[in-house]
Amino acid sequence: MAVLDIRVLGDPILRERTEALRAVTDEVRALVADMFETMRAAEGIGLAAPQVGRKERVFVMEVDDDPMAMVNPEIIEREGSERAEEGCLSIPEIFGDVDRATRIVVRALDAEGNPFEVELTDLAARCVQHELDHLDGKLFIDYMSLIKRKFTARKWEKEAVNYPGFIRKLEPGKAHSRKSRSRSKSADPAAPPFEPEL
């Protein structure tokens, strides 16, 4: 397994649509394993293939200690709507409110290639919707108002200098909490939940 580089905003691959996989091969399983390792190293709760420079229609997530890999995912039911703040491992230090369905049913293949359906709510449902957007070249900042997007673009201009070539390098075993809002998951149970990076 390996920790992969994360592509950040500005890399064109984040704007490309992925291609459905015809089979879950050993190569796909290796990608899934690397993506789990990368997501954990970055302290995120979701990671989609384009974020590591790949075009497979695959993402991984881990909400409430429940790791899931989804290949060729599609949402077949959705209901409810809730506005909440999101972040993205490919757009560090940027956060914004996004409306998402609060309950969804997803159909996908697992890492063994077996089809499954799962009902998810709240943060897990939000995570799937964010990752599915990645597979279609869409980012959470696309939902922002024009004014907020302009403000974000200016903030990102300053932030992006930290990522030459639109590459975010992670070092295994080193914490990568965000600078401005870093909070340990276990340090203070009374602390409000931090914005998820997906």
The catalytic residues are 131
Which residues make beta-bridge pairs with 7? 167
Identify the burial level of 33 via C-beta atoms within 10 angstroms of its C-beta, where 0-12 means exposed, 13-18 middle and 19 or more buried.
middle
Give the shortest CB-33-to-Ni ion separation in angstroms.
20
Q: Which is nearer to Ni ion, 21 or 198 (CB)?
A: 198
Give the shortest CB-197-to-Ni ion separation in angstroms.
7
Q: Which is nearer to Ni ion, 27 or 39 (CB)?
A: 39
Q: What are phi and psi of 37, to 5 degrees?
A: -65, -40
- Start-to-end CA distance of the chain, whole Å, equals 20
Encoded one letter per residue, x for contact with Ni ion by CB under 5 A and - for no contact, window 135-174 reads: ----------------------------------------
Q: Which stretch binds Ni ion (CB under 5 A): 16-24, 31-39, 84-92, 119-127?
A: 84-92
CA atoms within 13 A on the CB side of 165: 6
Q: Does residue 120 touch Ni ion according to CB under 5 A?
A: no
Q: Using CB under 5 A, which residues numbered 39 to 58 contact Ni ion?
A: none
Q: Which is nearer to Ni ion, 109 or 131 (CB)?
A: 131
Determine the longest span between alpha carbons in the chain, in angstroms: 46
Q: Does residue 88 touch Ni ion according to CB under 5 A?
A: yes
CB 123 within 8 A of CB 46: no
Q: How far apart are CA 193 and CA 187, in angstroms?
A: 12
Q: What is the contact surface with Ni ion in residues (CB under 5 A)?
A: 88, 198
